[in-house]
Copies of this chain bind each other. A is one copy, B any other.
């Protein structure tokens, strides 16, 4: 890195290249702060992996200069990696009350509650970390207490938006405080580091209150039980569903652990004041069906969530039946299309009415579309726009959009890019190691760890393990041990027999050639076994193959 430390630097390690696993660093004069520390979900390229998060080798090098981790809000893609990565840097953590509460529950699960200092900052509160004077500026999003950070430094102010939208009626929390944002703009902002998720959206995202009116209409006069599923952390939506339950003369019942956790945390923080009494599942089962509104986890068709358990008749007290209504108050997260479609088919099989975003107005996004971005730029008037929180296409689009609006300077980072925000000349000046690590069981491993590569190979091509127990030369002292996994066998170990025959032929030939070197024999067995498996199955690529030759001494 450059040795001139009197530079104001921005360095994303996650979230600039994907929607998920946000982790951003700022630095000035040897002081570093981290903003957010989130996870993302693995796709089928990482078999056996659920969670991924940023690789933070770089952070270990600046650990002594890291003044704090500042969390913007409690979504998993902003706080989910804390319990996994915090042991690598162990700095104090700052959060507003709701976020702090959700985080503490996670820290407790992982046994870090006593070790990690979590400083609770009130909404609108300020604090300093070295050269950084940080103010929490509450915006609106799809979770309680979504905060931007107004970060004052000796070289200028950074407005780090976090996740946001402009919601005039957010239902839970206050609407966007335009006055304060204009003030911040008046004070002069060097750079806005800004959410790009919905930059392709030309329409405004809509207000939570609008969803409330629509859901009330949609769920009026339903005969059977009503099931609503949404994102667990969307407390405003849950509040809306409580309101709809009251208005449609139904009792409310929450199903799913994360939902209950979020509702409890919200209540402890003083939200959900007008929420109706919550029935437990057992009591709800005694009511007439037209008297119940269930709120369930599982809007993405997740295999382990409440709605899937219910539809597969694996829930003890909650049953779904002909004439019920299931409302998905959510959007389809890209990648979940097939699991959601499967869920729909299961529901339809039960003659249940399904209402989704395709049928009616049931959801609003929590991220800014173009109109909102424009409004924010007008309020904040930044000299530099740095798009984050998006795939490459989203970041480049926000850059183009900002330029179209006359904002002259944009810098589009990638994870690992060291962005100099001040002094001039600004831009990407360096690159540090970045990447992803995967949580495999309890271990953090590289996303190209041999374990993952081998699993991917095994999942396509199967596994072949051969053990040969030999005396001297090519003399077998016991039958060859051939173990196949994941290879079509036509029953009765036909494949193993086929491989064994080919191996005996190869060993006979080796014997005639007086081949005795262990490595040569192992390689001969490996190549012969692999080729035989390919020949038998007709697969283009042979199985992952391992051979061990064990010599038993002749006595």
Contacts and interface: CB of A to CB of B under 8 A. Distances in A.
Nearest to A458: B458
A477 B334 CA distance: 55
A58 interface: no
A489 B456 CA distance: 16
A488 B445 contact: yes
Nearest to A485: B454
Contact of A337 (B334, B454, B481, B550): B334
A318 to B, nearest CB: 22
Interface string A28-50: 00000000000000011001100
Question: Binding site of A, secondary structure by majority: helix, strand, loop or mixed?
Answer: mixed
Contacts of A485: 454-455, 458, 463, 544, 546
A442 interface: yes
B552 A478 contact: yes
Contacts of A441: 488, 534, 537-540
Interface residues of A, number: 63
Contacts of A344: 393
Q: Which of A393, A458, A486 has the most CB of B within 10 A?
A: A486
A443 B537 contact: yes
A490 B358 CA distance: 47
Nearest to A444: B488
A213 to B, nearest CB: 23
How many monomers of this protein are in the complex? Answer: 2
A488 B349 CA distance: 41
Interface string A462-481: 11010101000000011101
Given A467-B467, A555-B555, A458 B460 contact: no
Contacts of A467: 467, 481, 548, 550
A120 interface: no
Contacts of A302: none
Contacts of A551: 478
Given A48-B462, A455-B485, 15 more contacts: A47-B47, A48-B459, A48-B460, A440-B488, A440-B539, A441-B488, A441-B538, A443-B490, A455-B486, A456-B459, A458-B463, A458-B485, A458-B486, A469-B469, A552-B552
16 contacts: A43-B338, A47-B47, A48-B459, A48-B486, A341-B391, A442-B537, A442-B538, A450-B489, A451-B488, A452-B486, A455-B486, A458-B459, A463-B485, A467-B467, A469-B469, A552-B552
Interface of A: 43-44, 47-48, 200, 334-335, 337-338, 341, 344-345, 348-349, 358, 391-393, 396, 440-443, 445, 449-452, 454-456, 458-463, 465, 467, 469, 477-479, 481, 483, 485-490, 534, 537-540, 544, 546, 548, 550-552, 555
In the A-B complex, the 8 residue pairs with the closest CB atoms: A442-B538, A441-B539, A459-B459, A455-B486, A441-B538, A47-B459, A441-B537, A454-B486
